[in-house]
Amino acid sequence: MNSTSTHFVPPRRVGIYEPVHQFGMWGDSFKSNIGNGNMNTPTHIIIPNNQKLDNNLSEDTSHGTAGTPHMFDQEASTSRHPDKIQRRLAQNREAARKSRLRKKAYVQQLETSRLKLIQLEQELDRARQQGFYVGNGIETNSLGFSETMNPGIAAFEMEYGHWVEEQNRQICELRTVLHGHINDVELCLLVETAMKHYFELFKMKSTAAKADVFFVMSGMWKTSAERFFLWIGGFRPSDLLKVLLPHFDILTDQQILDVCNLRQSCQQAEDALTQGMEKLQHTLADCVAGGQLGEGSYIPQVNSAMDRLEALVSFVNQADHLRHETLQQMYRILTTRQAARGLLALGEYFQRLRALSSSWATRHREPT
């Protein structure tokens, strides 16, 4: 008798071999369904081919080959032979039984895989919490297991991955041209492209902040070392100046004055935003802690806190605006060549931070 699992069917006495791929069908459906993200309905209902094989053989054992002998056409023969009907019904029942067993096996496979995916997703979350930069692909999204996965955020993470790749490419190019010879027009173009690339990031972050402001504020999309320096969802504008300024050996008097003014105004603006954020934190804390604690009811407090949280989006946008303006002013103050060197220095600074994050993460995983 035939079995239900993926079995190789041995050739019959008459040398007929029917490739029995259908036994693997439940497994195949599973594979293709995983790819398409359709896990709910099996797409094939299978009648095993070798049932027909049995019929042919039992009908006429003297026949040497497979194929449908016309004299013994099945439909014609069942109407004349009632016991053929019985056999047909039995075979159908058998086929149905096997189909049910295969379906059961398939569903069990699905259940196991589902659990495995949930487990992997949790591990991924945990790894991110601990600060490993883990790129978020589209896997968790399309399978729809995680209700917390925000499509806007998933899109942002993917775009950010591309942004970093492009950033690395631009840094390489800047390094190459600054060591060689390049005319000012071409260099200007490179510098402008690099500036626009940063501005692009701020636009991306603004969209992401509307999707989930806490995500942007947490800096989870950055590496762990970068996160250490986080200020309202990104780098500190004053840090930017600290990184850049040592790299300009010759500055005119006017430039020195402008740079001094920029440093001071940048710091003041940053401090003002920091204090505004602190006030937001205080008011939010008061809001959440309002009324009676310990009574188990909190809906009004949560609702009123929700209203206040809208302000967080404005702060993230304002912080990015400050970063934007700081970059813009540096570009205005410096010559093209100085700006190029500055952008190279800045880019490489972030690259080093990212490298530091990986090294640190690897260090943690080494056995002691």
Cα torsion angle, 314, 320, 323, 329, sign? negative
DSSP for residue 8: P
Please, which of residues 267-296 interact with other proteins by CB under 8 A? 268-269, 271-273, 275-277, 279-280, 283
Closer by beta carbon to other proteins, 144 or else 291: 291
Residue of the chain from 121, 308, 348, 356 that contacts other proteins (CB under 8 A): 308
Is the CB of 42 or the CB of 234 nearer to other proteins? 234
DSSP 246-262: GG-----HHHHHHHHHH
Using the contact rule CB under 8 A, the part of the chain among 66-74, 147-155, 264-272, 353-361 near other proteins is 264-272
Q: Residues 94, 121, 239, 325: which binds other proteins (CB under 8 A)?
A: 325
Q: Strand, helix or coil at 234?
A: strand
Q: Are 95 and 47 in contact (CB under 8 A)?
A: yes
Asked if residues 266 and 326 have their Cβ atoms less than 8 Å apart, the reply is yes
Alpha carbons 192 and 264: distance in angstroms, whole number: 25
CA separation for the pair 67, 16 (Å, rounded): 10
Only segment of 25-33, 151-159, 326-334, 337-345 that touches other proteins (CB under 8 A):
326-334
- When the beta carbons of 248 and 315 are compared against other proteins, the nearer one is 315
SS3 state of residue 235: coil
Q: In the complex, what is the shortest distance from the CB of residue 235 to other proteins, in angstroms, rounded to a whole number?
A: 16
Nearer to other proteins, 25 or 217 (CB): 217
Give the integer Cα–Cα distance in Å for 154 and 208: 9
Among 29, 140, 167, 326, indicate the residue that binds other proteins (CB under 8 A). 326
Which stretch in 98-106, 116-124, 163-171, 262-270 sits in contact with other proteins by CB under 8 A? 262-270
Query: If binding is defined by CB under 8 A, does position 252 make contact with other proteins?
Result: no
Of 103, 231, 107, 208, nearest in space to 160 by CA? 208
Q: How far is the CB of 264 from other proteins (least distance, A)?
A: 9
Is 303 an interacting residue with respect to other proteins (CB under 8 A)?
no
111 binds other proteins (CB under 8 A): no
Q: Kindly write out the interface string for residues 332-361 of this chain, putting x where it contacts other proteins by CB under 8 A and - elsewhere.
A: x-----------------------------
Locate 144 and state its tokens. Answer: 């729809």
Shortest distance (Å) from residue 293 CB to other proteins: 22
Q: How far is the C-alpha of 219 from the C-alpha of 229, rounded, in Å?
A: 10
22 binds other proteins (CB under 8 A): no
The whole-angstrom separation of Cα 212 and Cα 197 is: 22
Q: CA-CA distance, 103 to 45, in Å (whole number)?
A: 9
**What is d(CA 169, CA 158) in angstroms, rounded to the nearest whole number?**
17
Give residue 295's identity as a one-letter amino acid code: E
- Residue 265 contacts other proteins per CB under 8 A: yes
Taking the complex as a whole, the smallest distance from the CB of residue 266 to other proteins amounts, in Å, to 6
How far is it, in rounded angstroms, from Cα 261 to Cα 258?
Answer: 5
Nearest distance from residue 257's CB to other proteins, in Å? 9
DSSP state of 157: H
Asked if 61 interacts with other proteins (CB under 8 A), we say: no
d(CA 353, CA 336): 26
The number of residues that bind other proteins (CB under 8 A) is 28
Nearer Cβ to other proteins (140/329): 329
Among residues 17 and 214, whose Cβ is nearest to other proteins? 214
Interface residue with other proteins among 25, 204, 262, 334 (CB under 8 A) is 262
Q: How far is the CB of 268 from other proteins (least distance, A)?
A: 5
**Which residues fall within 8 angstroms of residue 143, CB to CB, at 6 or more apart?**
37, 39, 117
| DSSP H helical ranges for 233-298 | 237-244, 253-288
**244 in contact with other proteins (CB under 8 A):** no
Binding-site ranges for other proteins (CB under 8 A): 258, 261-262, 265-266, 268-269, 271-273, 275-277, 279-280, 283, 308, 311, 314-315, 318, 321-322, 325-326, 328-329, 332
